[in-house]
Structure 1
Amino acid sequence: MKQIICVLLCIVLAACASSSRRNVQMTYDETAPFDSYKTYTIEAIQQDHQAAGLNTMIENGIIGAMADKGLSHRMNGKADLLIRYATHIERGQEMKLEQISTGKGVYTRSQMEPVNEGSLLVNIIDTKADRVIWKASSISDITGITIEDVTQIGVDEAVDELFEGYPSSMF
């Protein structure tokens, strides 16, 4: 279970980079009683030391998004939900191969392309049932963006976009 959570968690920080090129994925358990959940706690599963400084901004974004859904944050103690999140930043290169038909065969051309992605993964766990009821991830192109460029407003926008698909009894 922890491995699944970690893998899923590694799919989402770029959303926090305030990039307009985000890939958001979301799924949830349709049988979960979303209208009965009232409180939550937050836990970071930090995978990437580069993104460690974003935790406060991400948590503030989650608190705002969940308040919009009608849920209350608890700092400690028992809550209906546990929100776990992880971030990951990947900066590097990847080799792209292209097959080109020449009429006399196939020529393979290779080239190196930059990879600048940030990802944020959020899992929401029903604490009584001990199961994931909602999960979402966001991967963004963060080319030209540094950690210092990330603002609370940008993180809030990214987290709001991520939580758009969270079922709520208010909407």
Structure 2
Amino acid sequence: MARILMAALVALAMTGCASNVVTDYNSAVVFGDYSSWAFAPGAGNSSFVSLDGNRVQNAVERELNSKSLRKVAEPEADLLVSWQIVEEDRLQQSGVGLGFGFGTGNFGWGLSAPPPVREVKEGKLVVELVDKSTEEVVWRAASRRYLNENQSPETRRKLVDEVVAEMFTKYPPGMD
């Protein structure tokens, strides 16, 4: 019994350590040289800012301000912030499977059907910081958590805030 309890605690601890974001960066860049930023033209890949786009921009602005980076007009910026919500189709199981069986002793037969599966469209957030002078991506973060159409506006705002905050805990790189 003690072994099972210990294994469960270790599994729970490891689950808690799993990150909801993945980051990558150019290790040759001195991130302390950047002091200003602006959203890249076309950030969000749309001609207008969507509801989720507003949520993302507000969260990014809050996080970069907390890093002592100034928001300036695009021509004056050291970094350009590009972001997009990458749409993905995912399979989602709903409900439970059905099954029945019969037998006696150590022998028996069974038949079961898997739970129904449906395809849902979800979006994962990707944020990139681009060095304006070289026009190269110097830092990138991608979420492992997804927005979907079934979430309420408040749930979506909370999710965007949490994901963006976690992304920027890893900026500048090497500070964790």
| Coarse TM-score class (shorter-chain normalised) | 0.5 to 0.7
The structure 1 residue matched to 2:125, chosen from 120, 123, 128, is 120
Please report the TM-score for the alignment, with normalisation by the length of structure 1.
0.63
Letter in 2 for 1:128: S
Q: Structure 2: how far apart are the matches of 1:116 and 1:22?
A: 22
Q: Percent identity?
A: 24
1:68-147 to 2 correspondences below 5 Å: 68-90=66-88, 93=91, 112-115=117-120, 117-142=122-147, 145-146=150-151
Deviation at 1:141, TM superposition (A): 4.2
Letter in 1 for 2:32: D
Q: Structure 2: how far apart are the matches of 1:154 and 1:59?
A: 13
Match of 1:15 in 2: none
Secondary structure of residue in 2 paired with 1:156: helix
- How many residues are aligned here? 136
Where structure 1 has 5 or more consecutive residues not aligned to the other structure, the ranges are 1-20, 96-108
Q: Would the aligned equivalents of 2:124 and 2:146 in 1 still touch at CA under 8 Å? A: no
Deviation at 1:131, TM superposition (A): 0.9
Distance 1:94 1:154, change over 3 A: closer
Please report the TM-score for the alignment, with normalisation by the length of structure 2.
0.62
Q: Structure 1: how far apart are the matches of 2:19 and 2:153?
A: 19
Letter in 1 for 2:45: Q
Deviation at 1:34, TM superposition (A): 0.3
The structure 2 residue matched to 1:148, chosen from 141, 150, 153, is 153
Cα RMSD, aligned residues only: 3.5
Q: Would the aligned equivalents of 1:35 and 1:168 in 2 still touch at CA under 8 Å? A: no
Distance 1:141 1:116, change over 3 A: farther
Letter in 1 for 2:151: T
Match of 1:104 in 2: none
Distance 1:169 1:114, change over 3 A: closer
Secondary structure of residue in 2 paired with 1:134: strand
Q: Structure 1: how far apart are the matches of 2:151 and 2:158?
A: 15
Q: Which runs of 4+ in 1 moved over 6 A?
A: 168-171
